[in-house]
A and B are shown apart, each in its own frame.
Chain A
């Protein structure tokens, strides 16, 4: 079993490869694990010494042109990083002791050097994972994908539901890719963007994943970035659907014995069910971790706190410095300090961190506003409106 460790102000993080897990441990645990005291232990910081994971868009090139693409992909950017530049970036991330790298795009396999990049990640001690639309997957490529820790194929539904969501009939391509990938790789899953149109179709997708013996499905919230902005108001899930999401996926996971994930921006809908915050914290069920354990890189090398975030976090080659001092990262990690109501009084504030700021910024024009998709925020706003109406 491969184990990697790095120091943090609270103690350290231990990374296991099989089963894949990160353990956040205290100083005493580190000592018992054979590590000497670190200078970092004298500092008090409210964020990690480096991201645990980087989302790296290696190209904007994509043949699928999905109507809700969050990075508006299709054509290559004018100035995308070269193979050597990406390798240089990976070396820097390795020296920061980043553990995982999620390769994406565009379509990452549109780059001929995608596998070379993945092997270089391994060489440098990072686990490469990947999201693909399946377009370039052949039997040969599927075999070579063993280099990845996990491979997810984008698919929001079966047949017509795929088309309804993505605006083209890419289901046969994604289906074929999944069948080829599962022949040779143990960790193959689906990325499903959940909208009000495919919400009722989720059980069918889970059944399909079970039938194909897939490892997992990751359900992603519809976020208003890239081309998805245009359809956001029509597509984002309703309050009722948000409340139904957690019981639905727990029921489906139990019935089908399959791992079902939700992304960080869905956590306000999860907290609404009042699971004890301590246990959620213990199993890392956190909301916005942008600028805390996460950073994103665009195909031209610009970085940000998460791959959906707008703003200037600097450039990948200076990430060591930017991580600690760039206002873009600080803004995300310090949000809690100035949280407005109802977040300020919420028991889940430290876990949730205000929900998805990308959604707040687009819908309300205010990065700092509470996530308008949170059921509690919606109820709070309704009550406030009623109070104002009565006063008026």
Chain B
């Protein structure tokens, strides 16, 4: 097993006259690398910790930096998911096990999204 350490990652080219750092989608890419998620894999909408960890075989115990990175990633994915839900105004949502139903129900109740039916495909 490798004992060598990556101290720092700097992603993307900098076409400009001063150094730069990326956020949003760029940061997410860094997090993929940080968490050893295969590049280009894309994380599905079941944006919960157990689902992501299981899907990409991320160990249960993480060090502090990776813990923060994972939480940040989950939070971003959730926001993205809810934004899409708001736009789509779906009649029905099929939710995979592990999805945070509480938040969806909260959004339905507050009128942010309109859903007539929520189906859970698998039980936890």
Contact = CB atoms under 8 A, between A and B. Distances in A.
Interface in A51-68: 52-53, 55, 57
Interface of B: 2-27, 29-30, 33-34, 39, 64-65, 68-69, 76, 79-80, 83
Contacts of A187: 13
Contact of B20 (A254, A258, A263): A263
Given A220-B18, A263-B18, A254 B79 contact: yes
A129 B22 CA distance: 17
B24 A249 contact: yes
A152 B15 contact: yes
A20 to B, nearest CB: 5
A104 B18 CA distance: 11
A19 interface: yes
B5 A252 contact: no
Contact of B83 (A21, A131, A254): A254
A278 interface: yes
Interface of A is mostly: mixed
Contact of B16 (A11, A257, A260, A263): A263
A148 B16 CA distance: 13
Contact of B10 (A22, A70, A131): A22
B11 A264 contact: no
Nearest to B79: A254
A219 to B, nearest CB: 9
Contacts of A285: 21
Nearest to A280: B21
Contacts, number: 188
A100, A187, A279, A307: most-surrounded residue (chain B CB, <10 A): A279
Given A21-B11, A152-B15, 12 more contacts: A19-B12, A20-B13, A23-B6, A28-B3, A32-B2, A52-B10, A131-B17, A149-B13, A150-B12, A254-B24, A261-B20, A282-B8
8 contacts: A11-B4, A30-B4, A32-B4, A131-B15, A254-B80, A255-B80, A261-B21, A282-B9
B24 A252 contact: yes
Interface of A: 10-11, 19-33, 52-53, 55, 57, 70, 100, 102, 104, 127, 129-131, 148-152, 187, 189, 191, 216, 218, 220, 246, 249-250, 252-255, 257-265, 267, 276, 278-279, 281-286, 289, 293-294, 296, 306-308
A18 to B, nearest CB: 9
Nearest to B63: A278
A52 to B, nearest CB: 8
Given A149-B13, A187-B13, A19 B39 contact: yes
B108 to A, nearest CB: 21
B15, B21, B30, B64: most-surrounded residue (chain A CB, <10 A): B15
A24 B7 contact: yes
Contact of B17 (A259, A261, A308): A308
Nearest to A249: B23
Contact of B13 (A129, A252, A265): A129
B2 to A, nearest CB: 6
A102 B17 contact: yes
A308 B18 contact: yes
B4 A26 contact: yes
A130 B21 contact: no
A25 B15 contact: no
A26 B7 contact: yes
Contact of B8 (A27, A260, A262, A281): A281
B21 A21 contact: no
A250 B73 CA distance: 12
Nearest to A267: B21
Contacts of A294: 18-19
A257 B17 contact: no
Nearest to B25: A259
Contacts of B9: 21-24, 282-284
Nearest to B18: A263
